Amino acid sequence: MSQNDTTTRIAHVFSGTFVHSTPSAAVEILKDSVLGVDDEGKIAFIEKDPDVVSLSKIWGFETAEIKVLEQHEFLMPGMVDTHIHASQYSYSGTALDLPLLEWLSTYTFPVEAKYKDLDFANNVYTKVVRRTLKNGTTTACYFATIHTDASLLLGELADKFGQRALVGKVCMDCNSAVPQYKESSNECKEETDRFIIELLKKEYPNVKPVVTPRFAPSCSASLLSELGAIASNNKLHIQSHISENKKEVELVKTLFPDCKSYTDVYLKHNLLTDKTVMAHGCHLTDEELKIFHERGSSISHCPNSNISICSGLLNVRNVLNHKVKLGLGTDIAGGYSPSILDAMRRTLDTSKALTIQDPQHQTLTFEEVFRLATLGGSEALSLDDQIGNFVVGKDFDALRVNVCVPDGPIDLFPGDGPKVILEKFLNLGDDRNITEVYVAGRQVVPFSDT
């Protein structure tokens, strides 16, 4: 038991069951445990079967302040959405009848062009931040649009509602089917610089910029190089898309004939770093996965989108065997659900479909998928020194889950223990079961205005 120093003040104490992942255990269930959060939002202690009275004296809290979880409740780490287009939330749940390139020209670019209007942006961005928080997304890696001011507004709203976020102003300077929805290469560079400077100037504790070339077909080689340099000079995260759909992979071959592969396009332009997250990767070769491993770059697996717009089935087992970091993404609006619980289910479905095709394929387990949604996501965003599981010194990003809420979606039966309760929540639960959400120790759900 560690000793308190005089400066640490305890802001929350919970007792009961805690469920999280560690590098060695996909699911670790800590029963009869007590967790304390300090006033900077960090986990101060987590003890199994402690003597609560002596713990309270050491850390200077009152035992009456302890939030006691019931038998059918547990605390888990907040979920990480490693890839979501905030700007596409207005049409999520619709427009899933075209493959990627046609889908972008027909639905996506015309909608994204509307974010010139800050009132429009404010309405959609407020809704997407609230909806994802309510569904347990404590960290989101967002694509906004090409508009700097609207992208800054997304950062402001994530900060206001208390979501941890990486926010990307989208860069694209070619091949847009909507002529007004692109910038010149120079505008992209200048506006990205302005976006980064202005967002960093706000000093939001948990909202940071991410350099965001849309994908290789939307960017000239010179723009890709500029963005690689901006990320490197400012030590920033990078996000984009890769090998989502076969026609897209063919298009990249014709646009970048000097590059060996789609991965080589990003590699050559200094866009594959240990802070890079690339969405999809359904059609990456083993050679390309080796490059991801060497560079420490990661993949955001977006199974709802991969199926909804018929892009492909990512073999997550193969990615993990290559020791490439991987997290889950909703990819709103290519994916129709804003929930990472849905991403976990679609990840399992995809893995089972691969097993149907090839019985030798080693199907993912629900425990592994739980890890991908939490610790895996934090690793994919290179935030695992701060978040992802319940380790002393990390920020307290957590969900209070109650599987027995009135009129809820889950029934329990005698003998259902903590592991079954977790599995039922992952397969059957929804936002009604997520009764409280914390980010960096701040309770952000229920919302303070409702």
Whether residue 446 is preceded by a cis peptide bond, meaning omega within 30 degrees of 0, is yes
Single-letter residue type at 124: V
Q: What's the CA gap between 390 and 146, in Å, rounded?
A: 37
Query: Half-sphere exposure of residue 165, counting CA atoms within 13 Å on the CB side?
Result: 33
Binding partner selected for residue 244 from ligand GUN, Zn ion, none, CB under the kind-specific 5 to 8 Å limit: ligand GUN
Between 288 and 368, name the residue whose CB sits nearer to ligand GUN.
288
CB-wise, 216 or 439, nearer to ligand GUN? 216
Least distance from ligand GUN to the Cβ atom of residue 108, Å: 5
Give the binding-site size for Zn ion (rule: CB under 5 A): 2
Name the minimum Å distance from CB 430 to ligand GUN: 24
Tokens matching residue 36: 């304390």
Using the rule CB under 6 A, is 425 a contact of ligand GUN? Answer: no
CA angle 76, 78, 79 (to 5 degrees): 115
Answer yes or no: are the C-beta atoms of 167 and 158 closer than 8 Å: yes
* Cβ atoms of 409 and 432 closer than 8 Å: yes
215 binds, among ligand GUN, Zn ion, none (CB under 5 to 8 A by kind): ligand GUN
397 binds, among Zn ion, ligand GUN, none (CB under 5 to 8 A by kind): none
Q: What is the phi/psi pair of residue 116, to 5°?
A: -60, -30
Report phi then psi at 263, rounded to 5. Answer: -60, -40
Which residue's CB comes closest to ligand GUN?
Answer: 334
Of 41 and 334, which CB lies nearer to ligand GUN in the complex structure? 334
Q: Which is nearer to ligand GUN, 145 or 185 (CB)?
A: 145
The CB-of-311 to ligand GUN minimum distance in angstroms stands at 7
The verdict on 81 binding ligand GUN (CB under 6 A) reads no
Asked if 317 contacts 339 with a C-beta cutoff of 8 angstroms, the reply is no
Instruction: Pick out residues in 263-302 that bind Zn ion (CB under 5 A).
Output: 279
Strands 170-171 and 28-38: unpaired
Half-sphere exposure of 116 (CA within 13 A, CB side): 9
Task: State in angstroms the smallest separation of the CB of 345 from ligand GUN.
Answer: 19
* Contact of residue 104 among ligand GUN, Zn ion, none (CB under 5-8 Å per partner type): ligand GUN
The rounded distance, in Å, linking the Cα atoms of 134 and 447 is 9
Based on the number of CB atoms within 10 Å of its own CB, is 287 exposed (0-12), middle (13-18) or buried (19 or more)?
Answer: exposed
Q: What does the alpha-carbon distance between residue 204 and residue 322 come to, in Å, rounded to a whole number?
A: 35
Residue from 244, 432, 426 nearest 346 by CA: 426
Contact status, residue 206 vs residue 164, Cβ threshold 8 Å: yes
Is residue 112 within the footprint of Zn ion (CB under 5 A)? no
Q: How far is the CB of 325 from Zn ion (least distance, A)?
A: 18
Kindly indicate which of the ranges 90-98, 100-108, 158-166, 341-349 contains the residues binding ligand GUN, using the contact rule CB under 6 A: 100-108
Please say which residue, 86 or 444, places its beta carbon nearer to Zn ion: 86
Pick from 181, 215, 262, 425 the residue near ligand GUN by CB under 6 A. Answer: 215
Q: How far is the CB of 331 from ligand GUN (least distance, A)?
A: 5
Which 324-343 positions form the footprint of ligand GUN (CB under 6 A)? 331, 334
Give me the least distance between CB of 310 and ligand GUN, in Å please: 12
> Of 61 and 215, which has the nearer Cβ to ligand GUN?
215
3-state SS string over 193-244?
A: HHHHHHHHHCCCCCEEEEEEECCHHHCCHHHHHHHHHHHHHHCCEEEEEECC
Residue 107 interacts with ligand GUN (CB under 6 A)?
no
Task: Kindly tell me which of 172 and 279 has the beta carbon lying closer to Zn ion.
Answer: 279
Backbone phi, then psi, for 142, in 5-degree steps?
-100, 140
Nearest to ligand GUN of 42, 182 (CB atom):
182
**Interface with ligand GUN, residue 104, by CB under 6 A:** yes
| Binding positions for ligand GUN, rule: CB under 6 A | 85, 100, 104, 108, 214-215, 241, 244, 305, 331, 334
| Binding positions for Zn ion, rule: CB under 5 A | 279, 331
